[in-house]
């Protein structure tokens, strides 16, 4: 064993030796984990190393019969799972069993009793019946990159693109010297663009000619459409001649659309002014990179960029990878095109080998804009971002805090969400950062709590997060408003308003008593008052109006 096994991840699982030596060996659990890896990208299970350990006990001896038994039981309990089972010796002399699971590239693996699982991050997840079709659909996408369909040699590709790619790799700070010292052919092989004889699909996508790229199934086509306030198309740009590789495509889209760079000028105090673009360049590039990296190249469909007066929509063909949903996209990352993702990361075209949504969140909250909306339709994923700045003072506040305290990306996201809301209840905050785990929430808040930048009041679900008033001193946020009004005072305001303006809707009440008050607080107060009989209602849920029945009492 050349190196210690430090932690479990999407390719590594550790198991206690008791899984095969106990009175009731957990063969079903082992089979399940093998199916997980086979349906993902393969991996290794180390039997004989505890979860918290890096190596096996130095006195651990593995009987050869166990190795054969592991191999036999896995084959008996799984379908479409190929494994290599061997005994290994660690540097300390302790022995363990290595189970190497090959990815099931063209078929779906299962247990013999008909159960399907897939490895997501460091956990094994069951595949639900409604997700099974997606697993079958994703399988061809897993191997699209490394397939050789057209017999194109290195000499037949676009030589200018080849030279540029090699130059980009050798000049990238994210690429190790070990890779940079490789030959041209070795670099292409390292990135799975060349199989030793011909270019793979990935190789053609990046360094092929436009004719070669056009024969891929399916090379990306991008359509940009601009709409006016009435929903009419007023501008269209098209990238459909397959002349550009993914890097060139992103650059061309940014350069040909001047609307990206429209924006407003805001004050930076005594130091001058700066422009906040309607759509931040890093956000646009990250979204385009995501669209190109995470789309299934075995699915037909164009990428649509729809620009409206108030928002930008990017439509990407295909669904999210199995295990990723709009509700966990900030935390969960599954790379559908693993090797393309690595190229994007190594060339600094995306934030990291993942979704990059944390970077998008950070930039948007720092510019006091609404968080992105991710929607999964029947045949596509739609990402929506908005150009409106909610409050210029929020930008200045966040910049002031960032200059005073050293905050990481997660803390900046949390700061921006809380600053925009002024005060936010725990349940809503957890929803915004896509987490219900208290430990994870505290980890995200981190130094914001430690430095008392953010303070709390209340308990459990009623807890509220707000910016420390001493931090707000000297800013426009220091002025008193109703956003943090106490519930009993809010109730008095609402009752007085309804008494004066009977048969009012929630929206009307909100406008009159103070739009800075979170509407959820008003809704809750109304609900409680109705429940207690203090207020009456007429109309259905959507058109409900509130009044005080003065006959009562």
Please write the tens of the pLDDT for every residue from 464-518: 898 988 887 766 555 556 666 778 888 888 998 898 889 989 989 998 888 778 7
The answer to whether 249 and 261 have CB atoms below 8 angstroms apart is no
Instruction: Extract the tokens encoding 336.
Output: 């559908």
- The total of other beta-carbon atoms located within 10 Å of residue 84's CB is 11
Contacts with 341 (C-beta within 8 Å, 6 or more apart), sequence order: 293, 294, 335, 350, 353
Contacts with 397 (C-beta within 8 Å, 6 or more apart), sequence order: 419, 467, 472, 475, 477
Angle between the N-to-C axes of helices 357-366 and 392-404, in degrees from 0 to 180, rounded to the nearest 10: 110
Contacts with 230 (C-beta within 8 Å, 6 or more apart), sequence order: none
d(CA 278, CA 386): 8
d(CA 232, CA 255): 24
pLDDT of residue 3: 55
The answer to whether 189 and 202 have CB atoms below 8 angstroms apart is no
d(CA 17, CA 5): 16
Closest CA to 294 of 229, 345, 227, 252: 345
pLDDT of residue 264: 87
Question: Strand, coil or helix: what is 249?
Answer: helix
Would you give per-residue pLDDT tens digits along the chain (553 residues)?
445 666 778 889 999 999 998 788 999 999 999 999 998 889 999 999 998 888 999 899 998 899 999 999 999 999 999 999 999 999 889 999 999 999 887 788 999 999 999 888 778 889 888 788 778 777 777 788 999 999 999 999 999 999 999 999 999 999 999 999 999 999 999 999 999 999 999 999 999 999 999 999 889 999 999 999 999 999 999 999 999 999 999 999 999 999 988 988 887 655 567 889 999 999 999 999 999 998 888 888 999 999 999 999 999 998 888 778 888 888 877 778 889 999 999 999 987 655 578 999 999 999 999 999 999 988 899 999 999 998 888 888 898 898 888 999 999 999 999 998 878 888 889 999 998 788 888 999 999 999 999 999 887 777 889 898 888 776 655 555 666 677 888 888 899 889 888 998 998 999 888 877 878 888 888 888 888 888 989 988 778 999 988 765 4
Contacts with 65 (C-beta within 8 Å, 6 or more apart), sequence order: none
- The total of other beta-carbon atoms located within 10 Å of residue 35's CB is 30
| Chain-centroid distance, C-alpha 381 | 13
pLDDT of residue 1: 44
d(CA 174, CA 355): 18
Answer positive or negative: Cα dihedral of 431, 437, 438, 443: negative
Are the folds of 134-372 and 392-478 the same? no
CATH topology for 392-478 is: Arc Repressor Mutant, subunit A (1.10.10)
Question: Strand, coil or helix: what is 110?
Answer: strand
Question: Strand, coil or helix: what is 202?
Answer: helix
pLDDT of residue 78: 95
pLDDT of residue 2: 47
The kind and range of the H/E element at 250 are helix 246-256
Closest CA to 378 of 137, 141, 217, 144: 137
Angle between the N-to-C axes of helices 438-445 and 409-421, in degrees from 0 to 180, rounded to the nearest 10: 90
d(CA 48, CA 1): 13
The answer to whether 238 and 226 have CB atoms below 8 angstroms apart is no
HEC string of 301-344 equals CCEEEEECCCEEEEEEECCCCCCCCCCCCCCCCCCCCHHHHHHH
Q: Whole-structure pTM over 0.85, yes or no?
A: no
Instruction: Extract the tokens encoding 312.
Output: 């930008």
Domain ranges across the chain: 12-127, 134-372, 392-478, 487-547
pLDDT of residue 462: 74
Burial bucket for residue 545 (CB in 10 Å: 0-12, 13-18, 19+): middle
Burial bucket for residue 70 (CB in 10 Å: 0-12, 13-18, 19+): buried
| Chain-centroid distance, C-alpha 154 | 35
- Phi/psi region, residue 237 (left: phi>0; alpha: psi -120 to 50; beta: rest), is beta
Instruction: Extract the tokens encoding 528.
Output: 């409680």
pLDDT of residue 480: 53
Query: With the CA atoms of 312, 317, 322 and 328 taken in that order, what torsion angle do they form, in degrees rounded to the nearest 10?
Result: 0
Domain 134-372 has CATH 3.30.565.60: yes
d(CA 525, CA 380): 39
CATH number of 487-547: 1.10.10
pLDDT of residue 330: 86
Q: What is the DSSP string of 20-36?
A: HHSSS--HHHHHHHHHH
* Superfamily, domain 12-127: Schlafen, AAA domain (3.30.950.30)
The answer to whether 323 and 171 have CB atoms below 8 angstroms apart is no
The answer to whether 65 and 98 have CB atoms below 8 angstroms apart is no
pLDDT of residue 271: 53
Q: What is the mean pLDDT of the chain?
A: 88
pLDDT of residue 77: 95
């Amino acid at each position: 064993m050349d190196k210690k096994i430090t932690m479990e991840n999407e390719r590594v699982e550790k198991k206690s030796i008791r899984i095969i030596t106990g009175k009731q060996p957990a063969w079903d659990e082992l089979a399940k984990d093998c199916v997980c890896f086979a349906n993902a990208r393969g991996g290794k299970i180390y039997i004989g190393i505890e979860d918290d350990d890096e190596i096996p006990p130095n006195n651990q001896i593995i009987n050869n019969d166990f190795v054969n038994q592991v191999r036999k039981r896995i084959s008996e309990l799984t379908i479409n799972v190929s494994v290599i089972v061997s005994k290994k010796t660690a540097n300390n002399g302790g022995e363990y069993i290595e189970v190497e699971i090959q990815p099931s590239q063209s078929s779906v693996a299962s247990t013999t009793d008909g159960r399907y699982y897939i490895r997501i991050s460091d956990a094994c997840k069951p595949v639900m019946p409604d997700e099974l079709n997606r697993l079958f659909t994703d399988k061809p996408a897993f191997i699209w990159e490394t397939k050789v369909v057209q017999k194109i040699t290195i000499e037949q590709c676009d030589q200018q693109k080849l030279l540029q790619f090699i130059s980009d790799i050798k000049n990238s700070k994210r690429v190790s010297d070990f890779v940079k010292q490789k030959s041209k052919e070795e670099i292409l092989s390292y990135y799975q663009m060349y199989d030793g004889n011909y270019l793979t699909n990935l190789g053609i996508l990046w360094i092929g000619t436009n004719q070669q790229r056009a024969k891929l199934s399916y090379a990306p086509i991008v359509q940009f459409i601009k709409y006016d306030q009435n929903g009419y198309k007023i501008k269209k740009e098209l990238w459909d001649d397959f002349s550009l590789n993914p890097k060139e495509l992103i650059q061309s889209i940014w350069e040909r659309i001047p609307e990206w760079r429209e924006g407003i000028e805001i004050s930076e105090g005594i130091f001058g002014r700066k422009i906040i673009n309607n759509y931040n360049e890093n956000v646009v590039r990250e979204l385009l990179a995501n669209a190109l990296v995470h789309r299934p190249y075995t699915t037909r469909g164009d990428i649509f960029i729809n620009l409206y007066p108030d928002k930008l929509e990017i439509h990407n063909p295909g669904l999210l990878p199995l295990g990723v949903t709009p509700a966990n996209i900030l935390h969960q990352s599954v790379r559908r095109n693993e090797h393309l993702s690595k190229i994007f990361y190594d060339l600094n075209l995306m934030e990291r080998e993942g979704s990059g949504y944390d970077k998008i969140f950070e930039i948007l909250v720092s510019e006091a804009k609404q968080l992105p909306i991710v929607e999964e339709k029947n045949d596509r994923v739609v990402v929506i971002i908005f150009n409106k700045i909610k409050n210029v003072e929020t930008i200045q506040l966040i910049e002031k805090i960032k200059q005073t305290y050293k905050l990481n990306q997660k803390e900046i996201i949390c700061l921006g969400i809380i600053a925009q809301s002024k005060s936010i209840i725990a349940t809503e905050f957890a929803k915004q950062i896509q987490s219900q785990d208290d430990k994870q929430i505290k980890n995200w808040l981190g130094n914001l709590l430690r430095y008392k930048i953010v303070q709390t009041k209340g308990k459990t679900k009623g807890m509220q997060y707000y910016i420390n008033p001493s931090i707000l001193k000297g800013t426009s946020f220091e002025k008193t408003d109703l956003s943090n009004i106490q519930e009993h005072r809010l109730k008095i305001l609402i009752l007085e308003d309804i008494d004066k303006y009977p048969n009012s809707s929630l929206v009307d009440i909100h406008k009159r008593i103070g739009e800075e008050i979170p509407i959820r607080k008003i809704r809750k107060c109304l609900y409680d008052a109705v429940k207690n009989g203090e207020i009456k209602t007429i109309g259905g849920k959507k058109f409900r109006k509130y009044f005080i029945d003065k006959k009562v009492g």
